[in-house]
Structure 1
Amino acid sequence: MDNPKVVICMSTYNGEKFLAQQLDSFIAQTHQNWRLIVHDDGSTDSTKQILARYADLDDRVRVVDDEGHLGIKRAFLSLLSKEDAELYAFSDQDDVWHEDKLAVLVARLRGEDPSVPTLIYSRFDEIDAQNQILPDRSSQAVYSTRLKDFLLINTATGCTCMVNHALRDQLIRPLTSLRLSAIHMHDWWAALVASALGQVIFVNQKLVSYRQHGNNVLGAPTGGRFLKRFGRFLEFRESRIVDSGTKQAGELLRLYGPQLSVDQTQLVAGVADLFHGWAPIKKQRFLKRQGLFIRSKFLNIETILLLWMFPSQRRRVFSRNEV
């Protein structure tokens, strides 16, 4: 794998403000053997015109515009099937890739068994709308590679991820039967499948400037941010994360169950069953025994409180916080 082809998958929607910067960062990559496949999900601004201009300038850019509205989850997963390559990368429409992003990830994968489904991801820095780097919050970050760590929360940010051909095949094989409502987002799902069927690799290097727009749940640990988080906690707003985790666990078991080991099956089934019925003590013991508590005080407290709620109360909470 000296010079593997990397297919970059991007879904756009009204991204005219920052799209050109992102596309320019692809062109500036030191690893030049890449192809960009873009699905536009119904933009009404100049996004399509920007894409067409870059496609005219660079034949590595290909726009897929014949599938209509797909939504972000289906768009990204379906893009994996559009072209054969050794490697695939996910990209947002508004970030900026560091010029060595592809080169670093490709180099780290060199020597890995290509038959093992693999997802690799890295750290990132954060920028605002003016491209100014935001305060570093690395001390708060958690970077996981194990199945148990991906069951209730995701740590692999999509814009930093690359997957190999073996994982790509595992992701697209059941795509027609995949229940999209059961997965939170394409990057979390890809990391979950990789950690169950193969491996997840973390590169401790910042390779993407991840743009923040001011609406992110997580942010700098200021007093105002804490009060916002605490307010969301009081409303159980973060419960959708662990709820998504349990649903994804059930979907993983349904689609890939025969490929899981006995221990994996027991672990995944326990998470899938977490909010079914009412057995709070038993399920708290399961979480503790498996080491599944999340590195977030708010989420851990919410999870325990949810376990003690009657099923009808939980359903109301989850329904209120659906996105």
Structure 2
Amino acid sequence: MIAILLSTYNGARFLAEQLDSFEQQTDRDWCLVWRDDGSTDDTRTIMYDFTARIGEMRCREAAGSGVHLGAAQSFLALLPEAADAEAVAFADQDDVWLPDKLARARHGLASAGNRAVLYCARQYLVDEHLQGRRLSILSGNQPGFPASLTQNIVHGNTMVMNRAAANLVSRIPGPLGTVHDWWSYIVITACGGEVVIDPKPVVLYRQHKGNLIGSPPSTLARAIAAIRRGPGSFMTMMRRHVFQLAAHTEYLTDQARNDVARIGAGLRGGIARRTHALRCPGLKRQTELENVLFRFWFMIG
């Protein structure tokens, strides 16, 4: 069974359409575990009504629901609630899943065996009325570590992790300020897991003023957005991610352990150590324009 992990927060406006899309899945072997992050609108009422309709065996509220943790920690707190599921799928409250989403994810994970595998896919970017479909960016470079420290290319609202992958993410707590999909991508690649990217879109990703992050329409727009944000927040999160991995090296591959030590030394050191860290194989973003910016920020940040 696939456990759908849904974190809600004042989502009453769009939530019903997402819940309906769960029921329309061609793969019916799923259950829903949800956690509310302190809503003040009708979100919880909608969830209770949905539970009453499909039954408590298929939909249940997580322990600790109602306490505000923030989106990332709320999602990560759901992982232990689905410890018996063969796979877990993160779900945003304001999207709409296409009917074959879970079926494609199950197929993408089928050959995993005992390996940790994270499946993700492309999205259709739509407006708040689900109109104007545009395909999300398809990553050009192979996902892996340490590239995962430089950029998140995993769409959290399409993510499905098998049991081995979910166990890894559960063992290494996400640092303050991280986002659940990026942290999952970092942990799984640092621990030797695999990322499978499905080129077919499986979600209608609603773009509206309340989006926590949103999605840029192109690589150029992504680079421009990064320039506007500046190096401060990016370098802060890079340090937190690297140092959190450094505190849990027992789960990392030998190569990742060496990379973390080298990059961590660069982040703490001067120009020579930073230059040495930047020569780490694979420590790069998706495009050359983004790489120029990343290297500059790493040297000064």
TM-score with structure 1 setting the length = 0.81
1:292 aligns with 2:291: no
Q: Is the 8 A contact 1:143 1:202 kept in 2?
A: no
Match of 1:305 among 274, 296, 299: 296
Partner of 2:69: 70
Residues of 1 paired with 2:3 and 2:146: CA distance?
A: 29
Residue 164 of structure 1 corresponds to 162
Q: 1:213 aligns with which of 208, 225, 232?
A: 208
Could you tell me how far 1:76 is from its partner in structure 2? 1.1
Give, in angstroms, the shift of residue 133 of structure 1.
Answer: 2.9
Decide which moves more: 96-105 or 242-251. 242-251
Structure 2 residue runs without a partner (length 5+): none
* In 2: Cα distance, 1:232 partner to 1:147 partner: 21
Q: 1:112 and 1:230, CA in 2 relative to 1: closer, same or farther beyond 3 A?
A: closer
Partner SS for 1:80: helix
1:202 partnered with 2:201: no
1:71-102 superposed Cα distances (whole Å, 9 cap, x missing partner): 22222112111131101000000001110000
Q: Give the counterpart of 1:44 among 25, 40, 47.
A: 40
* Amino acid in the other structure paired with 1:194: I
Q: How many residues align?
A: 294
Residue 90 of structure 1 corresponds to: 90
Q: 1:184 aligns with which of 178, 185, 192?
A: 178
Instruction: Return structure 1 stretches of 4+ with deviation > 6 angstroms.
Output: none
Percent identity, please. Answer: 29
Aligned counterpart, 1:283: 274
Is contact 2:278-2:295 (8 Å) kept?
A: no
Within 1, Cα distance between the matches of 2:131 and 2:190?
38
Q: Higher mean Cα deviation, 246-255 or 59-68?
A: 59-68
Change beyond 3 A, Cα 1:57–1:238: farther
Summarize the alignment of residues 80-159 of structure 1 with structure 2, pairs less than 5 Å apart: 80-83=79-82, 84-113=84-113, 115-138=114-137, 141-142=139-140, 144-159=142-157
Which TM-score applies when normalising by structure 2?
A: 0.87
Instruction: Report whether the alignment pairs 1:237 with 2:230.
Output: yes
Q: Is 1:261 matched with 2:253?
A: yes
The structure number with the bigger radius of gyration is 1
Q: Distance in 2 between matches of 1:242 and 1:199?
A: 25
Distance change >3 Å, CA 57–CA 231, structure 1 → 2: closer
Alignment RMSD:
2.7
Distance 1:212 1:266, change over 3 A: same
Conserved? CA contact 1:10–1:36, under 8 Å: yes
